[in-house]
Chain A
Amino acid sequence: MTGQVYKWIGTRPNRPDGADKVTGRARFGADFNMPGQLVGRVLRSPHPHARIVSIDIGAAAALPGVKAVVTAADFPEQENIVVPAGEMQVNLRDVTRNIMAREKVLYEGHPVAAVAATTDAVAKQAVALIKVVYEELPHVIDVAAAMQDGAPILHDHIRTEGVQPAPTKASNIAKRVENLKGDVARGFAEAEVIIERSYTTQPVHQAYIEPHACLASAAEDGQVQVWTTTQGHFQVRGFCSRLLNIETSQIRVTPSEIGGGFGGKTVVYLEPVAVRLSQKTGKPVKMVMTREEVFRASGPAPGGTVKVKLGAKRDGRIVAADITIALQAGAFPGSPIGPACWCSMACYDVDNIRVVGFDVVSNRPKVAAYRAPGAPISAFGVESTIDMLAQELGMDPIELRLKNAAQKGTKTHYGPTFDRIGFIETLEAARNSAHWKSPVKPGYARGLAAGFWFNVGADSSAAAHVAEDGTVTVISGNPDIGGSRASLALMAAEELGVDYDKVRAIIADTSSVGFNFVTGGSRVTFATGLAVVNATKDAIRELKVRAAKIWGVDPEGVVWEGGQARPAGHNVGEFEPLSLAEIAAQAGKTGGPINGHAQLNAQGAGPGFGVHIADVKVDPDTGGVTIGRYTAVQDVGTAIHPGYVEGQLQGGAVQGIGWALNEEYIYNARGRLDNPGFLDYRIPVASDLPMIETVLVEVPNPHHPYGVRGVGEVPIVPPLATIANAVARATGVRMTDLPISPPRLSAALDAAMPRLAAE
Chain B
Amino acid sequence: MSDIRYVAAESLDEAVKAMLAAGGQGKILAGGTDLLVQMRSGAQNPGTIVDVKKIDEVMQIVELPDGGFRIGAAVSGAVIGEHRKLAAAWPGVVEAVNLIGSKQVQGRASAGGNLCNSSPAADSVPALVAAGAKVVIQGPNGRREVPVEAFPTGPGRNCLAPGELVVSLTLPPRPPGSGDAYLRLIPRTEMDIAVVGVGVSLTLKDGVCTAARVGLGAVAPTVLLVEDAAKALIGSKLDDAALEKAAAACSAACKPINDKRGTIAYRTKIAGVLLKRATAIAARRATSNVPGGMH
Contact = CB atoms under 8 A, between A and B. Distances in A.
A742 B266 contact: yes
Interface residues of B, number: 21
A622 B262 CA distance: 12
Interface stretch (B46-54, B81-89, B181-189): B181-189
Interface string A717-759: 0000000000000000000000001110011001000000000
B261 A742 contact: no
Nearest to B193: A679
Nearest to B190: A687
A121 B3 CA distance: 11
Contacts of A666: 260
Contact of B191 (A124, A674, A685, A746): A685
B42 to A, nearest CB: 8
B188 A684 contact: yes
A211 to B, nearest CB: 13
B1 A124 contact: yes
A112 B195 CA distance: 36
Interface residues of A, number: 25
A624 to B, nearest CB: 8
A124 B188 CA distance: 35
A622 B41 CA distance: 32
B192 interface: yes
A56 to B, nearest CB: 22
Interface centre among B188, B193, B265, B273 (most CB of A within 10 A): B188
B239 to A, nearest CB: 19
B185 A675 contact: no
A662 interface: yes
Nearest to B266: A743
Given A622-B273, A680-B261, A685 B266 contact: no
B66 interface: no
A125 B1 CA distance: 8
A674 B193 CA distance: 15
A121 B185 contact: no
A675 B1 contact: no
A719 B161 CA distance: 53
Given A622-B273, A674-B260, A747-B265, A742 B185 contact: yes
Contact of A685 (B41, B189, B270): B189
A6 to B, nearest CB: 41
A685 B261 contact: no
B1 A687 contact: no
A621 interface: yes
A292 B40 CA distance: 11
Contacts of A662: 187-188
Nearest to A658: B188
A121 B1 contact: yes
Contact of A682 (B1, B185, B188, B266): B188
Nearest to B185: A622
A675 B266 contact: no
Contacts of B187: 624, 661-662, 682, 741-742
Contacts of B191: 679, 685
B269 interface: yes
B190 A685 contact: yes
Contacts of A684: 188
Nearest to B263: A743
B240 interface: no
Nearest to B196: A622
Given A124-B1, A621-B273, A746-B269, A675 B260 contact: yes
Nearest to B189: A687
Interface string A645-679: 00000000000000001100010000000110001
B259 interface: yes
B192 A682 contact: yes
Contacts of B185: 622, 624, 742
A244 B265 CA distance: 53
Contacts of B260: 666, 674-675, 680
Interface in B32-63: 41
A688 B1 contact: no
Interface of B: 1, 41, 185, 187-193, 195, 259-263, 265-266, 269-270, 273
Interface of A: 121, 124-125, 292, 621-622, 624, 661-662, 666, 674-675, 679-680, 682, 684-685, 687-688, 741-743, 746-747, 750
Given A742-B266, A746-B269, 15 more contacts: A125-B1, A292-B41, A622-B185, A624-B187, A662-B187, A674-B260, A682-B188, A684-B188, A685-B190, A688-B189, A742-B187, A746-B266, A747-B263, A747-B265, A750-B269
14 contacts: A621-B270, A622-B273, A662-B187, A674-B260, A679-B193, A685-B189, A687-B189, A743-B262, A743-B263, A743-B266, A746-B266, A746-B269, A747-B265, A747-B266
Ranked nearest first, the 3 interchain pairs of A and B with the lowest CB-CB distance are A121-B1, A743-B266, A687-B189
